[in-house]
Amino acid sequence: MRDYKVVVLGAGGVGKSSVTVQFVQGVYVESYDPTIEDSYRKQIEIDGRACDLEILDTAGVAQFTAMRELYIKSGKGFLLVYSVTDENSLKELLALREQVLRIKDSDNVPMVLIGNKCDLDDDRVLSIDDGIKVSQDWGLVPFYETSAMYKTNVDEAFVDVVRQIMRKEAQISAEKKQQKELQKQQNASNDQGNNAKSSETEDKPTKRRTRQSTIDDPNGLDSAPKNKCCVIM
């Protein structure tokens, strides 16, 4: 079973806790109690793989934003939540996303954009098109409008971000495997080159010994006694 840490981020009052509790416990929390930090665990099966999720529900109020960097560093996937009844909550997500990308030092971070409270039609100030536009601006980040009250798209959003984490881990694993294979081939090529050089080095002294043997041969021409009658004065 693999462990996956998912962090829920967003402004205060957008329904982060309601969405999280609905996913983990299947109940709707109606009252609003500002969160400092709540951690939940849930075991689910995604695409035939058992997953142990640790979900961190973070604070949205200003006095706890200093703790956010620690959550982002430890998280593998992120749910960025705004309320369709609060235009400013969507604007705050723009800065939050930039903070996530900066801290993770990557443009490829598993992430889902959530427009919560879609059941409150009379209070809605942001359309679904507003969420789609932000999704496109972020490079087609998956976007869901959710209702914590009716559990609309809640499970789908969490499953989506976990699937993104799985794909990223598989990609990293494949890249590491490819690097190992390339390193192995390079090492083998270097070994072959070293063996060839070593063989050439061993052959050279042998040839010198052969020539020396010819010179020192007592039966050779150089060692034959010289006949004076053959010498031209």
- The 10s digit of each residue's pLDDT in 27-66 is 998 766 665 678 999 999 999 999 999 999 987 665 556 6
Domain membership flag for residue 22: yes
| 20-29, 38-47, 184-193, range with the lowest pLDDT | 184-193
Q: Tell me the average pLDDT across 171-195.
A: 82
Let me know if residue 53 belongs to a domain. Answer: yes
- pLDDT, tens only, 87-137: 999 999 999 999 999 999 999 999 999 999 999 999 999 999 999 999 999
pLDDT of 233 > 50? The answer is no
Q: Which range of residues forms the domain containing residue 151?
A: 3-172
How far is 210 from 98, CA to CA, in rounded Å? 75
Q: Is residue 194 part of a domain?
A: no
Q: According to the model, what pLDDT value does residue 190 have? A: 79
In a domain, 28, yes or no: yes
To 10 degrees, what angle do helices 154-216 and 16-25 make?
A: 80
Q: Would you say residue 149 lies in a domain? A: yes
Residue 142 has pLDDT above 90, yes or no: yes
Instruction: Tell whether 61 is covered by a domain.
Output: yes
Place of tokens 């993104």: 164
- Report the distance separating Cα 127 and Cα 97, nearest Å: 20
Residue 198 within a domain: no
Higher pLDDT: 184 or 130? It is 130
pLDDT for residue 34:
64
> Does residue 68 carry a pLDDT above 90?
no
Question: Residue 54 is part of a domain; what is its CATH number?
Answer: 3.40.50.300
Report yes or no on 112 lying in a domain: yes
Per-residue pLDDT averaged across 174-185, rounded?
86
Task: Please name the residue ranges forming H helices in the chain.
Answer: 16-25, 68-74, 87-104, 128-137, 154-216
When pLDDT is cut at 50, 70 and 90, the band that residue 144 belongs to is very high
- State residue 4 phi and psi, 5-degree precision: -135, 125
How many domains in the chain? 1
